[in-house]
Structure 1
Amino acid sequence: MQPSKQLIGVIDFPGRDRDALAETIAGDGLAVFAVDNVEELPAETALVVAHVRAVPSRDWATLALRLPTLVVSDDRLDTDLLKAVDAGLVDYIVEPLRHGHLLRRMIHKAIELRELALERARDREHLAELNDNLETHLAMLRLDQQAGGQIQRKLLPPRPQTVGQITCDYWLAPSLYLSGDFLDFQRFNERYTLFYFADVSGHGASSAFVTVLLKYLSNRWQNEWDGSRPETLAPHWLGELNRELIDTGIGKHATLFVGVIDQQRRYLHYSLGAQLPMPMMVANGTVHSLPGEGMPVGLFPGVTYPELGCELPKNFRLWLCSDGILECLPGETLDKRLKELETRVLDSETLEDLRSNLLLEDLSDDDESVAESGSGREKLPDDLTIMMLSGFGDANS
């Protein structure tokens, strides 16, 4: 027997009819093994051709489960033939010796279908194994992302906190476990307080790594600053960060607002890199966006960032929002959404007020739960971050 031949088992009572049936099947190059009952079939049997008279009716179902089986009969009206077909056997043929060519074609087709079924079963098994591996890797990635999110949250400043006469509070809701939004608020000395608000392009780990780099660089530059010429600190930071991001070659850029608050003068020195929306100053019942413009950080080499500044009035509130907040507002155009944001900012005394006005009060306000669960934030269009600075409640202090 050639290795490439499929072994066909023939079940029938011994005799000339069985021999003739076996010869008919073998005429198309098929290997045939004739037996009296199913138990005598070799393990490598690919298909069975069983005569209806040779298999008890109670055994058809068992045979159908074991091997693909074609039933042959000499009489179309044989009642056992219908019982065999009802048991789930592949097909049947009447007077097989007269229709040998048809029988062989049916055998080849049945074998082909069985091989396809076995291949599908193997594919399903392989796919199930791949899915199990994928679930394992996803679980590991989820744990890594959750751990990374917790570490990233630990890098954020305490909230709320008061430095001198300035209070800072913020809320950050990542759309994934890790966030591309980041901020900081630190005392430099009794006179100066430094802060920044950043939105790194993209999501996930690569964007979060940039926020860690930003934290490291800002701490280094703060330690290198001698406290002189505060108007130059913010543009210097942005220029240095622009160079660092371009030199890393990671293809990430960011929008930033960097501020230096002079509590003695009650003055804000600042610079910006394409911040959107611009910080909004609320005082004396009015709201306006701080003026200025600058290029994104990390896109173009040799960019110079502006030196900007403004007085800080009594009882001011300075609001900074990431661009994801704009997705939560009605309006078909950017201008309409910015106007809507100004209206809701003006109507908000506290961070909780603005979250309520933006219909974001149901999202978690707990740092740990945000980091651990990503807050189930598939519904969020982007990372959402709000930062509020306020102060100088007593103009004579």
Structure 2
Amino acid sequence: MRKGNAVAAKLKQQKNNVIAHEKAFGRHVLVVDDSRAQRRILVLALERGGYRVTEADSGVTALARCQEAAFDFVLSDWMMPEMDGLEFCRAFKAMPRDGYGYFILLTSKSEKGEIADGLDCGADDFLAKPVNSDELRARLRAGERILGMQFELMTKNRLIGSTLDELQKVYDSLDRDLIEARKLQQTLVRERHRDFGRGEVSALLRPSGHVGGDLVGFFEINPHRIGVYSVDVSGHGVASAMMTARLSGLLSGSSPDQNVALTEGAFGEQDAHPPEEVAARLNRMMFENIQVEQYFTLAYADINLRTGQVALVQAGHPHPALIRSSGAVEYIGAGGMPIGLIPGAVYERVEAQLLPGDRLFLVSDGVTECPSSEGEELGEEGLTRILLANRKMKNPALLEALVWDLATYFDGEDFPDDVSGALFLFKG
């Protein structure tokens, strides 16, 4: 912001310098006429008006003068030998210059066709010969207004250009920071796949922008139980990404003492709170400790690796999918209330039984609500088709196939929302 103000102040100072220079020395006028007497009359009238004047006796000489100095006005006779006024006007307008040059043709011609020829060549105005001094001053004042507006436009364009340059630098800096933030956010999912012996878990996380608001993961409760979760924070961008970083610490398997799901059992072994209590604890923390405007949805499952018994909570998240080894897909849960939306919200436990070869898929709404090129959402039916078409694949390959099929459905890989999910296979 300070740089933008500095640019504006600099341009304002430049404008003031130009105005001061014009007041001190006057506008610079080039008078072109092969008649010395006519030139003298014009020069005297212009000098009395405070203008600086340079003379040229032909169009060729005038072009040479224009190579040496930038003239604000040109008063040129139409009829001249070697190069007439129209040819000189074309050549003058074609010359590169910073500011605008106001061109007035001096002529005794009055036919409309001839006047049109002069305008087509780039002339800005006409003066009939012999030149009346009052009319000359009026024409020059009109030209002064045009030059003033042109200078204002150039000044504003420079300001816009300088501001855009500053904004581009800021954008480039933010872009670099967001790229690094994306790399850091990807590290929140410390493991993308782990084999627990009797079961294995694979994680998918594809932010829709530089950084996203989705989070997936898993952790060991004890040698016979694991926790698997999928989170979707409201909104997008940096604020959502910071919330996912906070939640990653609260559901971390590497820091059991900070994990809100873990507790100590009756005999000192590591245990876990029931899923519905985990959701309630997180909800209280959102209002009592974190205190932000955001909320998030959650699907969290406590899975017994020995029995295949699943206890889970669905807090506003899409329905978890049970992919049976027989080829059927079931969606479980009753929806539930998002976390951080209503104080004191109550969450219900959902139970399911996995058989060997069955899978549990906790998936974000970036998958189920992904639109087609016609705007139709994938939905649970579309997800079922993809899961069944790829069900013989191993977990990592199935998740990769899901992204490919989703990109085909969406007709592109720049998904409008984060795509994430946690896929558990029960081996038994």
Range 323-332 or range 121-130, more displaced: 323-332
Pick closer, same or farther for the CA change 1:240–1:339 going to 2, 3 Å. same
Matched, 1:379 2:414: yes
**1:338 match:** 380
What is residue 172 of structure 2 aligned with on the other side? 139
Distance in 1, Cα, partners of 2:239 & 2:82: 69
Cα 1:131/1:33, change in 2 over 3 Å: closer
Aligned residue number for residue 194 of structure 1:
227
CA distance in 2, matches of 1:329, 1:129: 40
User: 1:170 aligned to 2:237?
Assistant: no
Who is 1:181 aligned against?
214
State how 1:1-397 maps to structure 2 within 5 Å. 3=23, 7=27, 9=29, 11=31, 17-18=38-39, 20-21=41-42, 30-37=49-56, 46-52=72-78, 57=83, 64=93, 65=95, 67-74=101-108, 88-95=122-129, 97-98=131-132, 100-101=134-135, 103-219=136-252, 220-221=258-259, 225-227=263-265, 232-246=273-287, 247-328=289-370, 337-349=379-391, 350=393, 351=395, 352-353=397-398, 355-356=400-401, 359-360=404-405, 379-393=414-428
In structure 2, how many angstroms separate the alpha carbons of the residues matched to 1:244 and 1:284?
41
Q: Given the superposition, is the C-alpha separation of residues 342 and 10 from structure 1 closer, same or farther in structure 2, using an over 3 Å criterion?
A: closer
Deviation at 1:224, TM superposition (A): 5.3
Distance in 2, Cα, partners of 1:55 & 1:260:
99
SS in 1 for 2:208: coil
Q: CA deviation at 1:290?
A: 1.7
TM-score for the superposition, normalised by structure 2: 0.73
Q: Distance in 2 between matches of 1:378 and 1:125?
A: 39
Q: Quick one: structure 1 residues 167 and 95, their matched pair in 2 at CA, closer, same or farther if it must change by over 3 Å?
A: same
Matches of 1:320 and 1:301 in 2, distance apart?
25
Gaps of 5+ in 2: 1-20, 57-61, 253-257
- The code of the aligned residue for 2:362 comes to L
CA distance in 1, matches of 2:196, 2:71: 85
What SS class does the counterpart of residue 264 from structure 1 fall into?
Answer: coil
Contact 2:208/2:416 (8 A) holds in 1: yes
Contact 2:26–2:52 (Cα < 8 Å) also in 1: no
Q: Is residue 280–residue 347 contact of structure 2 (8 Å, CA) maintained in 1?
A: yes
SS in 1 for 2:152: helix
SS for the counterpart of 2:294 is: coil
Q: Identify which range, 174-183 or 233-242, moves more after superposition.
A: 233-242
CA, structure 1 residues 91+216, in 2 after alignment: closer, same or farther (shift >3 Å)? same
Q: Deviations over 1:357-393 (max 9, x none)?
A: 6643879xxxxxxxxxxxxx87312111132100124
Is the contact made by 1:47 and 1:111 (CA closer than 8 Å) also made in structure 2? no
Tell which deviates more after alignment, 191-200 or 262-271: 262-271
CA separation of 1:7 and 1:307: change in aligned 2, threshold 3 A? same
Question: Post-superposition shift, 1:256?
Answer: 0.5
**Counterpart-to-counterpart distance in 2, 1:358 and 1:32:** 73
Separation of aligned partners in 2, 1:326 and 1:151: 26
* Preserved CA contact (<8 Å) 1:231 1:308: no
TM-superposed deviation, 1:175? 1.0
What code does the residue aligned with 1:262 have? N
For these two proteins, the number of residue pairs brought into alignment is: 375
Structure 2 residue matching 1:379: 3-state secondary structure:
coil
Higher alpha-carbon deviation: 85-94 or 235-244 = 85-94
Structure 1 contact 181–385 (Cα < 8 Å) conserved: yes
Q: Report the residue type matching 2:279 in the other structure.
A: L
1:368 aligns with none
Q: Which amino acid aligns with 2:129?
A: E
Alignment check: 8 A CA contact 1:180 1:199 kept: yes
Asked if the contact 1:268/1:311 (under 8 Å) is kept, the reply is: yes
Deviates more, 1:85-94 or 1:293-302: 85-94
- More relative contact order, 1 or 2 (CA 8 Å, 6+ apart): 1
TM-score normalised by L of structure 1: 0.77
Decide whether aligned partners of structure 1 residues 55 and 36 sit closer, same or farther in structure 2, where only a CA change above 3 A counts.
Answer: farther
Give the share of equivalent positions with the same residue, in percent. Answer: 20
**1: distance between equivalents of 2:383 and 2:262?**
37
Give the secondary-structure state (helix, strand or coil) at the position aligned to 1:69.
strand
Change (3 A) 1:265 1:354: closer
How far apart, in 1, do the equivalents of 2:280 and 2:314 lie? 10
Tell me the distance in 1 between the aligned counterparts of 2:77 and 2:295: 77
Give the stretch that moved more between structures: 173-182 or 320-329. 320-329
- How far apart, CA to CA, are the structure 2 residues paired with 1:313 and 1:120? 75
Paired AA for residue 308 in structure 2? R
| Structure 1: runs of 5 or more not aligned | 364-376
Deviation at 1:154, TM superposition (A): 1.2
Letter in 1 for 2:107: S
In structure 2, C-alpha distance between the alignment counterparts of 1:33 and 1:286, rounded to whole Å? 92
Q: Aligned residue for 2:7?
A: none
| CA drift at 1:329 | 6.2
- Does the CA contact (< 8 Å) of 2:233 and 2:244 recur in 1? yes
Q: What CA deviation, in whole Å up to 9, does each residue of 1:104-137 have, x standing for no partner?
A: 4432333322233333333333222222222222
Shift of 1:244: 3.0
In 2, the alpha carbon distance for the partners of 1:326 and 1:108 equals 69
